[in-house]
Amino acid sequence: MSAPATSAPKNEADNNPSSSNPQVDLSNAVIRFAGDSQDGIQTIGGFLAKLAGRSAREVMTYMTIPSTISGGPSIFQVHLGSGEVLSAGDEADFLVTFYQHSYNDHIASLRHGGVCLYDTDHVELPEDRDKDITYVGVPITSTTIEALGGTARDRGKNLFVLGLVCQIFRLKRDKLIEIVERQFGRKGEDVLRNAMLAFDAGFSYQIGDIFSDAYTLREGTSADTHRITTDGNTAIVFGLLAGGVRFGAGYPITPWSTIMEQLRSELPKYGGMFVQAEDELAAVSMAVGFSFSGHIAVTGSSGPGLSLKMEALSYATMAELPLVIINVQRGGPSTGLPTSVEQSDLMQAIYGSHGDCPRIVIAPKNVQDCFYTALEACQLAKKYSVPVIVLTDQALATRIEAFREPVVDEVVIEPELDLETRGEDFKPYPLDGETRHAPPGTPMAGGKYPVVTGLEHDEWGHPSSSPELHQKMTIRRREKIKAFAEEIDLPEIFGDEEGDVLLVGWGSTWGPIREATIRARSQDRSLSSIHIRYVNPLPNGLETLFARFKHVIVVEMNDEGLYGNGQLATLLRARYCDPKIRSLCKTDGLTYRVREILKGVDAIVAES
């Protein structure tokens, strides 16, 4: 069920060409575009990502979006690599700045020896600039306007820059043009013509000698030839569709909305339906209605919306109804940071409802895993008749990666509605067996029809407040989740099987933690890592892994709380009572940088 195993640790090739000798073959390049949100830098970033996917290169993108309605500073970063790409990159090798504010805000993200391309129409270089950086001024705005026939509009400068990048990095022009044509061709001939004019103007712009042979990206080495390039939210949509979801309901909230928008358009093709509900409470209630009707149903939201759904999720646990809930985490509490990343909904996902309310919570590690996690959530919800929460986040939702295309015939499920007559012995909640429901429309041979309830009930679903029964049913609901825990494999250790430091991560920190592990090991440090995909229930036997290391450090994007432990660390400490488990936390709304992790680890190890 899980995504294909990732490759073993490898030595990273040198990705620090010195400025004195720019004639270097790159295995890796981090390109950051800094402009405003309406400049279309996401569009060209997406093109580059798609090109990488087609060129057997690895890619990961990172973007910031202002939470304003329109406009505002925005960046799009593309990490292209001919080997494994695990993060969006700590620092940029190549920075394109469209405005003075872009320059001011992002010049520090450029590594020493990097290249800053700036629009001379908008950016003035300060006197005291970093001498290790190569500055290349191009009148991006005016050249684009000129190329497009002298109108005062500068739309198209993103494509001019794409042409420049294509020239500088010696990317495959024909392949890139094919991608541009596919996108812009849909918008009409004029749009495509202008796009190509701008692109060609950038591609043929005479930059001078600075870049001659400087940046040739090495060909990709990925063994996968059938690869798709997409973002995490889209991968979730297709995981749900493959998993048999045909009905769902939701309410708009960033960054969940793009999932519901896509489902609204996709589901009718499959004979299904996604309903935009009047609020979060209605959305989850409709989804419970779909589930009660015999379908695999989905609802979803982001932090604040998940809070609103909690009462109905408790009902779904009590009534033992299958339901998939996608939660795209963002910065909290409250409205918080709607367009930034955080992992602070873990406790809410596991414990947010009233009552003893066990359910399954899974967190995808990367874009590819978003597909398989959504798919698996559908299967688990059905198998255990329980709500399953998929805990993804803003960073995964919006970033683009290339990955091996799932084999459709192996994963796609055509759901069937089971309305076969139920026998006289029909018991939805047998104390010694699996939950089985009889959806509306099912004839009941015994003449007795089931009423699904949120009241405590007996094996037949009949309300009962018997103390003994409540105890037994509470155990039943708990034990089926524990039974699932038995099925979960112990996470594999990445790195040495024993040693000084074991990093523990969950969700989208997988990439940076893995890269940190690789970097530390290349410096002969004893550091390994594990990734926990199933956060509730946790896999059994983690203590056997922890025992092999001197330090166990849980890396999370949430706060260390009142007692110095992040949310997963708190759970692990509660379960294993092991003071060796420590926390590395942060809540700046940004994904972890590799050097932040390594620095944090050093500090924790030093103080213990």
Partner 1 sequence: MATASPPAEPEKLTKKALTADHPTWCPGCGDFAVLAAFFKVLEKLQIPHEKIVTIAGIGCSSRFPYFVNSHGMHFIHGRALPLATGVSLSRPDVHVFAFGGDGDGFSIGGNHLDHAARKNVNITYVIMDNFVYGLTKKQTSPTSPLGYKSKTDPTGAIDRPINPMKRLVSGGASFVGRTHAAQVKHMMEMFERAIRHNGFSVVEVLSECVVFYPGAFDQGNPRKGGEFNLIEEKQYDNTPEDEERHDVTDEAAAYAIANLPFPGKFGVFYQEERPTKNQLEQKWIDSTREKVGSATAAQLIQQRFDSLK
∠ at Cα 332 (236, 370), nearest 5°? 15
* Nearer Cβ to partner 1 (131/269): 269
* Nearer Cβ to partner 1 (127/414): 414
Task: Supply the minimum distance, in Å, between the C-beta of residue 8 and partner 1.
Answer: 27
Task: Supply the minimum distance, in Å, between the C-beta of residue 281 and partner 1.
Answer: 6
Q: Which amino acid is at 419?
A: L
Task: Supply the minimum distance, in Å, between the C-beta of residue 368 and partner 1.
Answer: 12
DSSP class per residue in 488-520: SPPPPPBS-SSEEEEEEE-GGGHHHHHHHHHHH
* Nearer Cβ to partner 1 (198/298): 298
In whole angstroms, what is the distance from residue 33 CA to residue 45 CA? 8
Task: Supply the minimum distance, in Å, between the C-beta of residue 394 and partner 1.
Answer: 21
In whole angstroms, what is the distance from residue 110 CA to residue 98 CA? 15
Axis-axis angle for helices 189-203, 173-185 (nearest 10):
150
Measured in degrees and rounded to the nearest 5, phi and psi for residue 470 equal -60, -40
Nearest to 602 by CA among 516, 532, 514, 509: 516
Kind and range of the H or E element at 265? helix 257-266
Task: Supply the minimum distance, in Å, between the C-beta of residue 236 and partner 1.
Answer: 13
Q: What is the Cα 343 distance to its own chain's centre?
A: 11
Cβ 246 vs Cβ 55: under 8 Å:
no
* Nearer Cβ to partner 1 (148/282): 282
Taking the CA atoms of 489, 491, 493 and 497 in sequence, report the sign of the dihedral they define.
negative
In whole angstroms, what is the distance from residue 280 CA to residue 287 CA? 11
**Residue 461 φ/ψ region, left for φ over 0, alpha for ψ in the -120 to 50 degree band, beta for the rest:** left
In whole angstroms, what is the distance from residue 53 CA to residue 368 CA? 13
Task: Supply the minimum distance, in Å, between the C-beta of residue 76 and partner 1.
Answer: 18
* Nearer Cβ to partner 1 (294/303): 294
Task: Supply the minimum distance, in Å, between the C-beta of residue 41 and partner 1.
Answer: 20
In whole angstroms, what is the distance from residue 285 CA to residue 280 CA? 8
Task: Supply the minimum distance, in Å, between the C-beta of residue 270 and partner 1.
Answer: 6
* Nearer Cβ to partner 1 (125/412): 412
* Nearer Cβ to partner 1 (350/367): 367
* Nearer Cβ to partner 1 (426/484): 426
Q: Enter the tokens of residue 72.
A: 């505002």
* Nearer Cβ to partner 1 (305/406): 406
Task: Supply the minimum distance, in Å, between the C-beta of residue 297 and partner 1.
Answer: 8
DSSP class per residue in 212-242: TTTEEEPPP--S-SSEEEEEHHHHHHHHHHH
